[in-house]
Amino acid sequence: MSCTLAFIGALLLLAALFYFGGAAVWRSAIEDTVAEEYEAVSAAFATRGQAGVKALVEERAVPVIDQGYVYLLQTPEGQKLAGQMPAMSPADGWQEIVPPRGEEDEPFIAKAGFLPDGTFLLVGHDARDLHEVVDLIEEGSVWILAIAVPLWLLTAIVSSALIVRRLEAINRLSLEIRRGRLDRRLPIGRRNDEFDRLASHLNAMLDGIQDLTESLRQVTNNIAHELRTPLTRIHNRVEAARRRPLSIDAAEEVLDSTIEELERLLGSFAALLRIAYIDAGTLRSGFKEFELSETAAALAEDFEPIARDAGKQLTAAVAPGLRFFGDKRLIVQMMVNLLENAIAHSGGDEILLSVESARDGIAVRVADNGVGIPEAERKNVFQRFYRLSKEGSSAGYGLGLSLVAAVAKLHRIGVALLDNEPGLRVDLSFPWPRGGLQYGQAAMGSDMVL
Amino acid sequence: MKILVVEDDEETRTYLASGLATEGFAVDCAANGRDALFLASGSAYDLIVVDRLLPGLDGLSLVKVLRGANISAPVLFLTALDGIDERVAGLDAGGDDYLVKPFAFSEFTARIRALLRRPPLTDQETVLRVADLVLDRTSREVTRHGQRIDLQPREYLLLEYLMRHSDEIVTRTMLLEHVWDFHFDPRTSVVETHISRLRAKIDRPFEVKLLKTVRGAGYSINDHN
């Protein structure tokens, strides 16, 4: 409603602008013509005096006076000398006059003044064009209001009804979603207008929310299952101990195993919290540049004897001088997790760690020749508490690859799990630091693609 | 040795206090920052254990105020917040060490002993000695009984850290943090493997074993029996 009022107001304002603006332009054009004629006639006084002016007026003042110029020349005493106008009481300056037999409502515009000897001269011109323009504007404004306002109202009603209907659809859907129907989606039209784009953005958001809820549900489930087994074990053990008198040795054994079990649980929680913390993304503010090559080489040295003790061989091929921008400690933890997986869980006996420059960053690879991960499982292994083999919990917390995924996401590192034929190959693609290609160039030498 | 424990959770506070008392320390307790400030300005403590999250005046602010009041007793932060920037904030505020909950009591006492015995100038000593084992920090040379011993870079760092804390118990976590810069618990035996390799080089050829395992606590390098 207020919109309609504003529209009518604007229309009236526009009409007023036309009316006054247009009239003023026309009036000043007529005034220019009159002033010019006045100058021309009065100029004759300088050369030929009053008689010269009189002659000129007599020559120019045609008898037909409903349009064109009108003149009046009268003596200082008030006696008419020439012109179509009757004698009048002299007044200086611009005025509106009505010539004899002229229309009362269509006055002429005139300029009057005194010549040097006191003779009064008046020159006027009809303002018919001005009056026509004013009439036209007046008439036009009425028509505009009469036609445009209803037309606009109609458009407004129809289009707002359309908008309301589409908004109503969004509202209805939001309500359904709030009631738990997360699978509902907004219809998207073919016009690709603002509403269609809004709908597709909302749908994308809903997809994201649905994914998050699903993974949250999954994680909650996993955590509950993860907790139930050890808690049940602890409960049973302590309960059994409570039922009968215990020797010191037996009591110590019960307590030690309980502590061990609890420590595992706490460790599992610590890892879970750490992943959540990394996922929150706030760590990005602490990113620094560091030499990834050096870090990887040191890790290879650290884990080579561990692999050897486990009867396996860790080989490293690390290109020197490659730098990365990120959280070094998290990158270390990510690589340690991958190395530990390869050493402890892969079932293979050869592990390869390689770091080399690639076209758009640094390629880090951890590969083994073990049993690998079946293709269908590769998507799942990043889930929290997901384990390939269902039996037992000896194989770590089931959080190693979740942490890898979280650290990779934080650093925008690409992670690909591939078949090493046989075994698993984890390819990490570290992006170059933004605006920091020069580090790479300096480090890569001839390898650099320019 | 007098220790102030500032911890708002009563059970944890009692657990820490009675444990420390058993270890032979005199212990005072405070449940919040205000009481802690009052106690610390009244008597001289050799060490203050501060929970990072306290009601009212939180742990960080408390330590800042203490440092501002010229109370320079070493501070060990306890926290459930495990994040690198949390550690940095704690150390920046004037804390000397940082222990993440949950922790084993042996870890707790090892850290406390390390802080209490921390000789102020250790970092500047260029030659570290334990019995006939000598580590020269300028030339990075290690000898025992005059014989030169070749160490891998990590083994050198490990030995240096142990020798800087000779006679003290050094926990596995302390080693992970300071020698490897690992702020997580690796699943494989990184520490154990390197300790045994180091042992093979510095102890096995000699009669007196210096690098000892302290059961349930950690490691210690010394020439006591």
Q: What is the pLDDT of residues A81-122, one digit of tens each?
A: 888 888 888 888 898 888 887 777 778 889 998 888 888 999
Query: Cβ–Cβ contacts within 10 Å for residue A372, how many?
Result: 22
Using one digit for the tens of pLDDT, what is the confidence trace for A255-304?
988 988 888 888 888 788 888 888 777 777 778 889 999 999 999 999 99
How sure is the predictor about B193, in pLDDT bands with cuts at 50, 70 and 90? very high
| Predicted pLDDT at A296 | 95
Which long-range contacts (C-beta less than 8 Å, at least 24 apart) are formed by B145-154? B145/B206, B147/B205, B149/B201, B149/B202, B150/B201, B151/B198, B151/B201, B152/A301, B152/B197, B153/A298, B153/A301, B154/A298, B154/A301, B154/A302, B154/B179, B154/B180, B154/B194
Measured between CB atoms, which of B82, B88, B193 is closest to A305? B193
Q: Do B153 and A301 touch (CB under 8 A)?
A: yes
Q: Do A340 and B188 touch (CB under 8 A)?
A: yes
For residue B12, the chain A residues in CB contact (below 8 A) are none
Give the start-to-end residue ranges of the domains of chain A: 2-132, 194-279, 284-447
Min CA distance, A261 vs chain B (Å)?
Answer: 13
Q: Do B182 and A333 touch (CB under 8 A)?
A: yes
Residue A229 main-chain phi, psi, to 5 deg: -60, -55
Q: Do B85 and A273 touch (CB under 8 A)?
A: no
Q: Do A344 and B187 touch (CB under 8 A)?
A: yes
- Is it true that the peptide bond before B153 is cis, omega within 30 degrees of 0? no
For residue B190, the chain A residues in CB contact (below 8 A) are 302-303, 306
Question: Is B122-221 the same fold as B2-117?
Answer: no
For residue B186, the chain A residues in CB contact (below 8 A) are 336, 340
| Residue in this structure with the two tokens 């480090």, named with its chain if needed | A443
Q: Do B187 and A306 touch (CB under 8 A)?
A: no
| Predicted pLDDT at B123 | 59
Residues of A with CB under 8 A from a CB of B: 263, 266-267, 270-271, 273-274, 277, 282-283, 285-286, 298, 301-303, 305-306, 309, 327-329, 332-333, 336, 340, 343-344, 396, 400
Q: CA A100 to CA A86: how far, in whole Å?
A: 8
Q: What tokens appear for A258 in the block? A: 């309980």
Contact B92, B64 (CB under 8 A): no
Class in CATH terms, B122-221: mainly alpha
The answer to whether residue B199 scores a pLDDT higher than 90 is yes
| Predicted pLDDT at A438 | 41
Q: Do B189 and A306 touch (CB under 8 A)?
A: yes
Residue of A nearest to B197 (CA): A305
CATH number, domain B2-117:
3.40.50.2300
Reported ipTM:
0.75
| Predicted pLDDT at A439 | 42
Q: What tokens appear for A180 in the block? A: 């738990």
For residue B193, the chain A residues in CB contact (below 8 A) are 305-306, 309
Q: CA A326 to CA A430: how far, in whole Å?
A: 10
Of residues A143 and A339, more confidence is placed in A339
How sure is the predictor about A228, in pLDDT bands with cuts at 50, 70 and 90? confident
Alpha helices (H) along A61-127: none
- Edge-to-edge strand ranges of the sheet holding B127-130: B127-130, B133-136, B141-144, B147-149
Give the start-to-end residue ranges of the domains of chain B: 2-117, 122-221
Using one digit for the tens of pLDDT, what is the confidence trace for A140-189?
878 877 888 888 889 889 988 988 888 888 888 888 888 888 888 888 87
How sure is the predictor about A450, in pLDDT bands with cuts at 50, 70 and 90? very low
Contact B156, B149 (CB under 8 A): no
DSSP E strands, A1-74: 69-74
For residue A302, the chain B residues in CB contact (below 8 A) are 154, 180, 190, 194
Q: Which CATH number fits domain A284-447: 3.40.50.10140, 3.10.20.440, 3.40.50.150, 3.30.565.10?
A: 3.30.565.10
Q: Do B84 and A286 touch (CB under 8 A)?
A: yes
Residues 6+ apart with CB under 8 A from A287: A325, A326, A327
| Predicted pLDDT at A433 | 67
Choose the mutation target among B188, B194, B198 for the interface with A, i.e. most A CBs under 10 Å. Answer: B188
Task: For chain A, give the longest Cα–Cα distance.
Answer: 150
CATH number, domain A2-132:
3.30.450.20
Q: CA A363 to CA A241: how far, in whole Å?
A: 54
What sign does the CA torsion over A292, A297, A300, A305 have?
A: negative
How sure is the predictor about A434, in pLDDT bands with cuts at 50, 70 and 90? low
